[in-house]
Structure 1
Amino acid sequence: MPENRISASLAPADKEAVMQAIATIREKLPFLIDLTTEDRRTIVKMGDKSRAFVSKALEVATQNPNFLPRSFDLEEMRRDLEIYEDLYPVLLSLTQLQELVDDTCIAAGSEAYAAALAIYNYAKASGDVTGLDAVIDEMGRRFSRRSKKKKPEAAAS
């Protein structure tokens, strides 16, 4: 069997505490929004290189508000930048945590699947599977491939 990289358990109370912590995070950030795929694709995005540009633009506009149209909401821009700056370290922490949870889940699933494959192969190879034939056949369906249906031939014109 391959290397066992994860051997752990999560107590129900700890799982509940983690879920409650996530609920608390969502409760403390009630303004979070859910962008559509189209929104994500089309909106302009601020990255690390753009942060200085945005800060400088805000400073220029703050010191010289006369050239801005009256409809321009400088305070809203300031709030947007402020929430961005406040959320950025949260995003970094949550991204790191998500990667760790994701990697751990992938490794645990891989180990469980590899063990299941070993059991299946041992059971198939063993001559003593009395009463397990149906279960082994059922497990084997996981690997059955559907035959490709022949495309109907086009009618000759």
Structure 2
Amino acid sequence: MAKNQISANLAPADQEAVMQAITTIHEKLPFLIDLTTEKRRAMLKMGDKSRAFVSKALEIATQNPDFLPRSFDLEEMRRDLALYEALYPVLLSLTQLQELVDDTYIATGSEAYVAALAVYNYAKASGDVAGLNIAIDEMGRRFYRRSNKNKCEATAS
């Protein structure tokens, strides 16, 4: 069996506290939006090089507002950039936390699955001990795959 990478418990009270913290984050960020995949693809993305460009453009617009059309909302640009800059460290922290939770979730699932496979193999190898055949058959259905021949026959019918 593979080396156990994690052995921990998440107490219900701790799980509830984490869920409450997530609720608090949602409450503190009521302006968050949910973009569709299509809208996300269509949007211009601001990376590190673009951040400097946008900051410079805001500086120029602030110092020389006369060349901008009246419909241009300089204050909205300033608010958008300020929010972008304020969200950046939050995004980095949440991304790091999400990766840790995801890695831990994958590792614990993998360890549980490896252990279950070991139980299944030990049970199969031990024969009909204490009427395990029904349980072994039920577990074995997890690995059952219909052959291509059976699939073709089923779709032709």
- Normalising by structure 1, report the TM-score: 0.93
Q: CA deviation at 1:66?
A: 1.3
RMSD: 1.4
Q: CA deviation at 1:47?
A: 1.0
Equivalent residue, structure 1, for 2:152: 150
Report matched runs for 1:1-150 at 5 Å.
1-148=1-148, 149-150=151-152
Deviation beyond 3 Å, 4+ runs, structure 1: none
1:150 corresponds to which letter in structure 2? Answer: C
Distance in 1 (alpha carbons) for counterparts of 2:90 and 2:16: 22
**Which consecutive residues of structure 2, in runs of 5 or more, have no partner in the other structure?**
none
Residues 57-109 of structure 1, C-alpha deviation per residue, up to 9 Å, x if partnerless?
00011111111111111110100000000000000000000000000010000
For 2:58 and 2:145, locate their aligned partners in 1 and report how far apart those are by CA, in whole Å.
60
Q: Give % identity.
A: 80
Helix, strand or coil at the partner of 2:14: helix
Post-superposition shift, 1:129?
A: 2.7
Give the Å deviation of 1:49. Answer: 1.5
| Shift in Å, 1:40 | 1.0
Find the residue that maps to 2:117 and give its secondary structure.
Answer: helix
Deviations 1:107-155 (A, max 9, x none): 00000000000000000111243322111111111111122222889xx
**Gap regions ≥5 residues in structure 1:** none
Number of positions where the alignment pairs a residue of Structure 1 with one of Structure 2: 153
Equivalent-residue separation in structure 2 for 1:51 and 1:132 (angstroms): 64
